[in-house]
Amino acid sequence: MESSIAIASDHAGFVLKQYLSEYLRGRDIGVLDLGPDNESSVDYPDFANLVADAIGEGRAKFGILICGSGIGISIAANRHRHIRAALCHDVTTARLCRAHNDANVLVLGGRLIGTMTAEDCVEAFLAGEFEGGRHARRVEKLS
């Protein structure tokens, strides 16, 4: 069964990952939780790769990745040609990453934003649609 969204984090993003997983399930959105299962230290590239693989294999349409700042895990995710991961800090960046960049992975900094802002970012990301037009040619150059 295809999940709507794959989610993963490193140890610094674990608490927010757990929170958002439950938040999404409460909204009847399918969640593919790819770990980790606790706050023990892990390497964020491993979890970025799991989300990228899930999207590439069609097990998820979108992804959410979380590390302490969001920077490292977004760099790791964007090494995959089929991934357009966007580090967002507010509703505006979450909305624009879908509208202008056709982002398929939302990245959040677990140590930088609170749960309410994270919820708002997820909502804007999932509600967003790619505008195409002048943005399409730019997005094509990304992959």
Per-residue pLDDT at 45: 98
Tell me the catalytic residues: 100
Q: Is the dihedral of CA 97, 103, 108, 109 positive or negative?
A: negative
What CATH architecture is 3-142? Answer: 3-Layer(aba) Sandwich (3.40)
Structural domain boundaries of the chain? Answer: 3-142
Q: Specify which residues 8 forms β-bridges with.
A: 65
107 neighbors 85 (Cβ within 8 angstroms): yes
The pLDDT profile of the chain, 143 residues, written as one tens digit per residue, is 345 899 999 999 999 999 999 999 999 999 999 999 999 999 999 999 999 999 999 999 999 999 999 999 999 999 999 999 999 999 999 999 998 889 999 999 999 999 999 999 999 999 998 767 777 777 677 77
Please give the model's pTM, rounded to 2 decimal places: 0.94
- CA-based end-to-end distance of the chain: 27
